[in-house]
Amino acid sequence: LEPGGIVSQSRVPMVGHSGTTSRVGLRGLPLALLLLAPCCVAMFSEGSAYVPANSTVFIGKFCFTYDPTSSGSIGRLNITISAPTLTSQQSAHLVIFDDESESYPGPSGQWAALSCSDRMRHAKHKMKLDWKKLQAGQQKFRFRLREHLRPRFWYIAVADCSGAGLDIAYQVEAVNDAYGSTAHFPTDKRLALPAFALLSLAYGLLAAAQRRASALLGAGAGADSARHKALHPFARLLVAGIVLGLAASVLSTSHFFVFARNGVGAPVVRLCAQLLCAASRFVLASLLLLLSEGKCVSYVMVSADARRIGSLLGPFLASCLFLELWGDYSVARRYTTDYVYTTSFGCALVCVDLILLSRYVLNLRRTHAKEFDSSEGTFYRRWGALYGLWFLALPVTVLLSLVVLAPYVWWIISLAVNGSMTVAVYAALVIGLWPGNTRSYLKLRAPMLNDEVLGECSFASFPLTSPSKDSEPMHLPSLLESKSRSYRHPKLGFSTVG
C-alpha cells in the first residue's frame, strides 16, 4: 500500500448515493433498499455515518486483483472525508485493512473485544484526519496498491479513539487498473457482465424454442386443440418462467454494462432484475412441485392446481426475497468477505431450499408408490430424481463456499451453478413438452374443462372410481406420446386412452 498523501481540496463529483447513516430503521426499509442498492457494488460511492466514541466504522470494501510479476501498482484507492465537527482535541484516523489474519480476518468476538488503539495497530495504513482542513472543507487521500500472492479484499474505515464520537461524510473510489476497460469491477465480480450475457442468450434461445413449439402446435393440430394446449396452465407457467428469467438476465446485463463505464451502474435496474429472477425461480419451483404430484405426467393439471401451489409458495418465497435483498444490501457487507448466501440471511434461504426439497421428495415418493407398476413409474425414479437436484444447487454452492472456495470466487461460482441449473431444468421441460417428442413422459391433454367448473371440483363430488364396464372410455389426443395408455384424472374420476 503506497499512500499518495493529501491532495488538493477540489471537490470530487458526486456519482451516486451508496450509504445512509447507521440509524436507518425498519420502517424505512423499502426506501433504504433503493438508497443502499449501489453501496455493495458501486466503486464510486458516497454516504454518511456516525463514528461512536472509541470505535471503528467501516465505510467500504473492494477486492483488488494481483500480479505476481509486476513491481508497479495494480489498483488505486481514492478517499474523500468530510467531518466539519472534528475538533483539535479529537484523535480520528482513516485506517486501511486487508483480509489477512493479522490485519482484519473478519467480524468476530475477538475483533469486537479489541480496543480502538489495538484495532489501529492491525491496520495496513492509517492517516490522521486534520481538523483544520476538515473544518475548511474536505480531506482527500490517494493510495496505490500492490498484490503479488492472490486477490484480496481491502477495507476502508474511520476510527475515533478520543472518546467523543464523530459525524462524517465520505466518498470512495476504487479502481483495478490491471483490468483495463473493466477497471471499475472488483475481482469477485469481474465476470458478471459475460456471465449475465450468456444467461440472456440461453434464456433467449429457450424463449424462441417455446415460441416455435407453439407454432408447431398450431400447424399440426386443429385450431381448438392447439389453442387449448397453448393455454394449458403448465405451458403458461413454463412460458412465464422463461420470460421472467430472460428479463432478469437482460436487466442485469444492462446494469453491469453501465457499471463497467461509470462504476455505479443502474441500481434500480439491478433491483428489478433481482425481483424478476426471484419470480422466475418461484415459477420453476412451482412447476417441479406440480410434477412431483404427477401433474402432466399421470394426472391432468388444471388451473386450480397452479393457483393452489402459488398460494402455498407465494408468501413463503416472498419472505425469502425480502431476506435476500436485506442481506445483499446490508451495511454489514462493508466489513465482511461474505456474500449474501454465507450470511445469517443466506442460511435462512438455504433452509428454505432444503424444506422445498423435502416437500418435493415426499410428493415424489407418494406419487411413485401409486404409479409404481405403470409406465410413468420410470419417470419418477429417473427424471424425478434429476429434477430434484435443482433444489440442491444453492445448498451445495454455499457448502463449497464455506469449506473449499476462496472468498473472491464465491459470488461468481454461485451465479454460474444456480444460473446454469435453472436454465438446464427449463430446457428439459421445453424439450419434454416439444410437439412430436414421443419419448417424453410429459404431456398436455385436451379438451380441458372450464376453469370455473374445475375450481368447484372436489374429491367429494368426484370420487376416485373407475368407470363402469359398459361405459365407453374417452379418447383424448396425445401431444407427446404415441403409446396407448390408461389415463385417470384424480378429481374427475374418468379414464382415458391416448
CA atoms of 82 and 119, how far apart (whole Å): 22
pTM greater than the 0.85 cutoff: no
Of 111-125, 231-245, 334-348, minimum mean pLDDT range? 334-348
Give the DSSP H or E segment for 99. Answer: none
Using CB atoms within 10 Å of the CB of residue 475, give its burial: 0 to 12 exposed, 13 to 18 middle, 19+ buried: exposed
Of 4-8, 44-48, 178-182, 358-362, minimum mean pLDDT range? 4-8
- For the chain, the straight-line distance linking the first and the last C-alpha, in angstroms and rounded, comes to 73
When the pLDDT of each residue in the chain is averaged and rounded to a whole number, the result is 76
Band the pLDDT of 445: cuts 50, 70, 90. Answer: low
Q: Which residue in 58, 81, 62, 59 sits closest to 145, CA to CA?
A: 62
Residue 82 near residue 170 (C-beta atoms within 8 A): yes
Model confidence pLDDT, tens digit, residues 298-332: 888 888 888 888 887 877 778 777 777 776 666 55
CA atoms of 140 and 349, how far apart (whole Å): 41
Band the pLDDT of 333: cuts 50, 70, 90. Answer: low
60-64, 91-95, 253-257: range with highest mean pLDDT: 253-257
Q: Is the dihedral of CA 30, 31, 36, 37 positive or negative?
A: positive
Tally the C-alpha atoms within 13 A of residue 417's C-alpha that lie toward its C-beta: 19
Task: Show the DSSP H helices in 293-336 as ranges.
Answer: 303-328
Q: Which residue in 143, 182, 197, 237 sits closest to 426, CA to CA?
A: 237
What pLDDT, on the 0 to 100 scale, is given for residue 238? 92
467: which 3 cell numbers? 368407470
Give the DSSP H or E segment for 56. Answer: strand 55-64
Using CB atoms within 10 Å of the CB of residue 44, give its burial: 0 to 12 exposed, 13 to 18 middle, 19+ buried: buried
Give the DSSP H or E segment for 169. Answer: strand 166-175
